Structures are given as structure tokens and as C-alpha cells.
Amino acid sequence: MSPVPTEPPTLSEYRRGEQSITLAPVEEQLVGVRGETTDELFTLNFGPHHPATHGVLRLLVTLQGEVVRDIKPIIGYVHTGIEKTAEDKAYWKVIPVVERMDYLSYYFNAMAFCGAVERLLEVEVPSRGQYLRVIHLELNRIASHLIWLGTSALDLGASSIFLYCLRERELILDLFEMSSGQRMHTRYFQVGGVIEDIPGGFEPKLREFLKVMPARADEYGAILNSNEIVLQRLRGTCPLDAETLLGLGVTGPLLRAAGNPWDLRKATPYSSYDHFDFKIPVGTVGDNYDRFAVRLAEIYESVHIIEQALDGLPEGPYITEDRKVALPPRHELATSMEALIYHFKLVTEGFRVPPGEIYNPIESPRGELACYVRSDGSSKPARVHMRDPSFVNLQALAHMSRGSYIADMIATTAMLDPILGGIDR
Amino acid sequence: MPDATGLELLAAELGDAALETVYFREQATLVVDPAKIRTVLAALRAKGYSFLASVHGVDYYPEEPRLGVLYELLDMSKLDRLTIKLRVPIDAPRVESVTTDWPTADHQEREVYDMFGVVFEGHRDLRRILMPEDYEGHPQRRDFPVGGEPVLFTRDEAKWLERRE
């Protein structure tokens, strides 16, 4: 239990305005009945099944009146042992299991894992494969941010935004279905590239989406930025400075909202990100409004990246020609004995990876997502670990919310954007 | 990444705390003495590696010492990454906690404890984090079988009750 601070919490604009409403007549009647309750600490069990926790997250909240004094997150409710399962599967069969960790950014999980294995194998991804990866990663980033925006707005009482956001996400899922046959957990990324080239109708449909999306994002910004209730709940609530955030290991939009422009796509470019011109949105004070504004601005930047990737999409193979890693094309199986042997080896045993350890970080919609893979030389990984940004960022929730109202804690949880599938793995 | 020479220089500076250097696929790894992990990390922080990106465990079964803990350090201004690795034996898996210097290690050390049974001395709240609190064993160890845990289905309930009696 944390000690009770002596000074009262600072009031937001909204709360100060509220003070003009007096409850004195009511309180007079309660004299003697109520007693001194303001110093008493009260523990509230929040979740695991609560719509505002964005998943199966349980928070033990210590309250003093309506003010949050401490938060202890309790996690593990959706722990499914994916890291353990991965050790029992051939490398290429691990991709669908790791995709299910952070279920809103499946392309990123696959990218972190495939990137790690490619570095172990020293396989070069052809540039068309890299560009196709960037297109899908950024589409996925937009989809993930749309779900975040919709559910967060729902928490703040702006329920219509949720429906709008899901409408746009549907367009993205349709595109994913076109390129891979699946809407979620697509298994599109393979070790060495992507499984298939984009089909004929993909490009015009994507261009149509790229035209629609910025206009729709303008609408969301206009709706929420002119909503007084949303603004009062976001502006100035639960700020945290960049120094503390770095100590807590927080990365991604939360860190950028506090003014630190750290983005792995710029800092250590992977998958041809250095070919594209884009900006990194940063905030100034690091309050909930900045966190909201940074993510909304990232949607525009992602659209900009996809436009450039689509315009400059190089011709050539989309997956490595190394037959020891990637499946041979279907037509070769009928004519080439060698292709048939490679196909058989890959499908039955999988490929063997030289022994070693790799930590491969990428920038997911929530921060640094890294995959650690240890190979012992066999066709199954000896250890797969995901450094999931939600898992690390969750530690900042208590630091952000201490001393604020419980209603602001709800907004902060929403702006933290935790995905419990990624936290519990 | 520090290159191979830079890694050797770094190891030389740390003296006998550094046991081994590994430079593999452009990733620099420094194997250090488990007893000196805090001083090593403090020395590296002074050199600019001020961000602890990740703490995670690994089981090197059947090699000895079996358990490993990895600290992924990052220098944001030089865009440099460095992996610090330590190995502890399975019968005395004790490492000093680094949570006082690096608050981010809190949840991650708890995960390593939960999954591998490495005890972090000085951690204020070392409990299981992902598995239930009354769980026995450390599931990410290599000798812990997949599917080793019996699951109670309704159809087997009678059998279970019988066996319990």
C-alpha cells in the first residue's frame, strides 16, 4: 500500500468548472452520518472482465476517494504458451502461432520472427518482397490504430467513432483477403519474402483506399477535436515525461507523445524503410491528448508510405530464390525432380538453421516489437521470445495514473493501447 | 552495433567481469560474470547504453550452466545495440535484480522467474506473472514437456474423482 500524499491532486479545467456546482445543502444533512472518509484507502478490483480494460486485464486499484493512489496490473489470463508451442514446430510452422500473439498487428509479429530467422540464415529478401512487406505492414498499422481509436473513443463516450473506424478497417481486411486469402492472421510473410504476389485487382483497390483514408481520418479528427467532453478528458490528464518513460522501457507512440522522436523505422531501417520519405509525429507534453494526436497523425504518414511503396514497387521475385528456404513454384514440381525433392524436404522436415542467437527489433504500432530466436542447428527453434511492447508499456500505467481521478485512469488505459494477447502470449 | 573490434575493446575495459565475446551476424554479445551484472550494466550505462530494451531468459539444456538471462541494451544516440548474457546453473539460479536501476526490468524479471525459475535477488515483488500463482514448475525449461499438464474435461470428471479417492 502506498503512503498517502499530503497535497491534494491537481484539478483539471473540467473539474474546476464542476466545482461551481455545490452540494453543500445535501452534505449538511449528512453531517455526523458520513464521518471522515477521505483519508481511507480503498481497493477496487477492476476487471478482468471489464469493457474498459481492452481485453482480459485485471487491475487492483488503490483509491483514496476518487483519486488513484496505486495500480497493480494482474495479467496472464490469456496466456497460451505460444513461446513454448513454437519450440515444438518447424521454423515455417511457427509463423502462424506467433501471429496470434498481438492479434491486432499480426503482420508485425510475423515480420519480427521472419526477420530474425532470415538474419540467422543470411537470406536476402528481394526488393519486391520488401516493398510488399512494407505495404502490408503499414496497412496493418492503420488497421491497428483504427481499432485503438474506435475502442478508445467508445471508452470516452463517443460511440459513433467506433462504427466509423470499423468501416475503414473493413476495407483493409478486404485488401488482406485479396492478397492472402485471409482477413486476419494471414501468414502472408514467409521466411525469405512473401508467399504470393499481389493479385491483379489489388492495386486499384488499394489506391481507392489510399484516397479515402486521409479524408476519413480528417473526419475523425474533426469530430473528436470539436467534442468538448473528449477534449476535457484527454487534455492535460496523466502526463509522463520522456525520462521516466525511457526508464520504464516504454517505446512507440507513447514515447513519441512525450517528445522523443524514437522510431526504429528511421533509426535502424529494415525492409527498405529508408527508401521512403515520411515524418515522425511527436507530441510536446506527453498527456493523453498527445498520445491520441500522435497516433492519429501516424495514420496519414502510413498512407504516405504505402503510396510511395506502391508507386515504386519494383519488378522481380517476391520471395528468395533459395530453394532450401522457400518452396519452389508449383509449375516446377511437374518438370523438375530437384524441385520436387526440395519441396518434399521443406514440407516434411523444414529447413535447418545454423546455430546462433538473434534479437531482431522492429517498430510495431505499439513500440519496439522484437523477436529473439535461438537456433541449435536443427529444424525447430530452441527458443522463441517476443519482446512485446504492450507487456513492457503496461508498467507505465501506474506511473501515469497516480494522483489522477479514476475516470482519467480509464482514458489513460485506452491511450496506452494494451493488447492482452501480446502481453500474455 | 559495435563491430568486432569495438566489442573486444569494451570487454577489455570491463576487465574480468567479461568472460567471453560473441560477434555473430552483426550482433555483439558480451558474456559476463553473473555476480557482477549490476556493475557491468552501470558501467555500460555510463558509456551511453542507457535504454534497457528487454530482459529475457533462455534454457541451454543440455549444456551447462543451463540457464541464461539476456539483457538487450540500446544506445539511442549512437544507434547501437549490445546484448549482455549471463549463465547460471540450474541448482543455484540466483542473479542480482537490476530493477532499482532499470524499472523496466520489473515485469520482465518476473517473467524469467516464472518461466525459468531464475531467482532475482533484491526484486521487490518477485511473483509469478503469467502462470497461476499456485503453479508448480517452470514451463519454458527445455525438460518441461509440452502437454505435460493434465487438463480436466467434463467427460473425464468421474474418472478424476475416482482416482482422487
Task: Find the closest chain A residue to B78 by CA distance.
Answer: A267
Note whether B130 contacts A424, CB cutoff 8 Å: yes
- Count the neighbouring beta carbons within 10 Å of the beta carbon of residue A34: 10
Alpha-carbon distance A423 to nearest alpha carbon in chain B (angstroms) = 9
pLDDT above 90: percentage of residues in chain A: 47
- Tell whether the model's pLDDT for residue A386 goes beyond 80: yes
Note whether B76 contacts A119, CB cutoff 8 Å: no
Judge whether B89 and B30 are in contact, CB under 8 Å: no
Rounded Cα gap, residues B121 and B97, in angstroms:
5
Under the banding of pLDDT at 50, 70 and 90, the label for residue A8 is low
Rounded Cα gap, residues A269 and B159, in angstroms:
57
Alpha-carbon distance B128 to nearest alpha carbon in chain A (angstroms) = 9
A58 contact residues in B (CB cutoff 8 A): none
Per residue in B40-99, pLDDT (tens digit) is 999 899 888 989 999 999 999 888 888 999 999 999 888 888 999 999 998 888 999 999
Q: CATH 1.10.645.10 in chain A, residues? A: 82-424
Tell me the domains of chain B and their CATH numbers: 4-164 (3.30.460.80)
- Tell whether the model's pLDDT for residue A3 goes beyond 60: no
- Tell whether the model's pLDDT for residue A14 goes beyond 80: no
- Tell whether the model's pLDDT for residue A2 goes beyond 60: no
Q: Which of A7, A155, A156 is closest to A69 using CA atoms?
A: A7
> Best mutation site among B27, B50, B54 for testing chain A: the one with the most A CBs within 10 Å?
B54
Task: Find the closest chain A residue to B133 by CA distance.
Answer: A76
> Which of B58, B81, B139 lies nearest to residue A84, judging by beta carbons?
B139
Rounded Cα gap, residues A339 and A327, in angstroms:
8
Q: Which of A197, A204, A91, A92 is closest to A136 using CA atoms?
A: A197
Say what the ipTM of the complex is. Answer: 0.88
Alpha-carbon distance B165 to nearest alpha carbon in chain A (angstroms) = 31
Rounded Cα gap, residues A1 and A25, in angstroms:
35
- Tell whether the model's pLDDT for residue A34 goes beyond 60: no
Task: Find the closest chain A residue to B28 by CA distance.
Answer: A358
- Tell whether the model's pLDDT for residue B149 goes beyond 80: no
Under the banding of pLDDT at 50, 70 and 90, the label for residue A110 is very high
Note whether A248 contacts B83, CB cutoff 8 Å: no
pLDDT above 70: percentage of residues in chain A: 91
A86 reaches B (C-beta below 8 A): no
- Tell whether the model's pLDDT for residue A1 goes beyond 50: no
Write out the three cell numbers for A342.
526440395
Rounded Cα gap, residues A62 and A70, in angstroms:
5
- Tell whether the model's pLDDT for residue B4 goes beyond 90: no
Q: Which residue has the cell 517505446?
A: A251
Amino acid identity at A415: M
Under the banding of pLDDT at 50, 70 and 90, the label for residue B164 is confident
Per residue in A349-372, pLDDT (tens digit) is 888 999 999 999 999 999 999 999
- Tell whether the model's pLDDT for residue A237 goes beyond 90: no
- Tell whether the model's pLDDT for residue A38 goes beyond 70: no
Q: Which residue has the cell 547460471?
A: B88
Q: What is the mean pLDDT of chain A?
A: 87
Rounded Cα gap, residues A412 and A234, in angstroms:
8
Per residue in B90-135, pLDDT (tens digit) is 888 899 999 988 999 999 999 999 999 999 998 888 888 888 888 8
Per residue in A53-91, pLDDT (tens digit) is 777 888 888 888 888 888 888 898 889 889 999 998 999
Write out the three cell numbers for B44.
555500460
Count residue pairs from A and B with Cβ separation < 8 A. Answer: 98
A246 contact residues in B (CB cutoff 8 A): 50-51
Under the banding of pLDDT at 50, 70 and 90, the label for residue A31 is low
- Count the neighbouring beta carbons within 10 Å of the beta carbon of residue B23: 17
Under the banding of pLDDT at 50, 70 and 90, the label for residue A21 is low
- Count the neighbouring beta carbons within 10 Å of the beta carbon of residue A245: 24
A374 contact residues in B (CB cutoff 8 A): 58
A120 reaches B (C-beta below 8 A): yes
Under the banding of pLDDT at 50, 70 and 90, the label for residue A208 is very high
Architecture of domain A82-424: Orthogonal Bundle (1.10)
Mean pLDDT of A123-134: 92
